[in-house]
Amino acid sequence: MDALEARYRHLLDALAGAAPGRAPVLLAVSKTQPAGAVRALAALGQRAFGENYVQEALAKQRALADLALEWHLIGPLQSNKCREAARHFDWVQSVDRPKLPPLLDRERPAGRPPLNVLLQVNIDGEASKSGCAPEAVMALADQVAALPRLRLRGLMAIPAPHPEPERRRAAFARMRHLFETLRAAHPGCDTLSMGMSEDYPLALAEGATLVRVGSALFGPRPPKP
């Protein structure tokens, strides 16, 4: 077993152990990793991959076109990238303002299933972060749910990297609460995306259904090309 496989097995065990009976999804964050690393992980059974930059993702997707993978856009989305995002991804996790849903809906090709959408929430109210305010979630959710080529699936957040685990845990708990409120209005929502290499166990303890893990899986990231 090589290092990648060992880290992968360890993560799958951690996911199964942290949430018995829930089967949280592992999203492998492959930004800055070469296509060969994605191929190696796909050979071990991994299907869902997350990318931050549209152009980088498209190049990788072309190199891996022979594989049936599921691609998630997790980086900030500019409106001039909505066309490519809607065409080349299965999920967009970073919808955070009213301008984006109509563009994604318009650009989603008719022959594909509806685009899965998560609303990104700026849960710690950080000035420099993407994500909508928690108070804006319900209106944005209603907007997405009303568009035929989009499918509202839930919420995503990147809490502030507080050194104290309890502060992060509190942010995850606020996300869980927001997710429950959302589900009361939109029962089809099934995905709460939170937790990365450093804090996925805390996120799972607070109800994450999908964790986004890069470096704990692939090893340290090569610099952005």
Q: Interface residues with ligand PLP (CB under 6 A)?
A: 29, 31, 52, 74, 158, 196-198, 212-216
Q: By beta-carbon distance, which residue lies closest to ligand PLP?
A: 214
Smallest gap from residue 59 Cβ to ligand PLP (A):
18
178 versus 213: smaller Cβ distance to ligand PLP:
213
147 versus 178: smaller Cβ distance to ligand PLP:
178
Whether 130 contacts 100, CB under 8 Å: no
31 versus 176: smaller Cβ distance to ligand PLP:
31
Helices marked H in the chain: 3-18, 35-43, 54-63, 82-88, 100-107, 137-145, 165-185, 200-205, 215-218
Smallest gap from residue 203 Cβ to ligand PLP (A):
11
Smallest gap from residue 110 Cβ to ligand PLP (A):
29
Phi, psi of 28 (to 5 degrees): -85, 115
Other Cβ atoms within 10 Å of 120 Cβ, number? 25
26 versus 150: smaller Cβ distance to ligand PLP:
26
147 versus 194: smaller Cβ distance to ligand PLP:
194
Whether 143 contacts 98, CB under 8 Å: yes
Smallest gap from residue 61 Cβ to ligand PLP (A):
18
Smallest gap from residue 184 Cβ to ligand PLP (A):
26
Nearest to 205 by CA among 166, 164, 178, 156: 166
Other Cβ atoms within 10 Å of 100 Cβ, number? 25
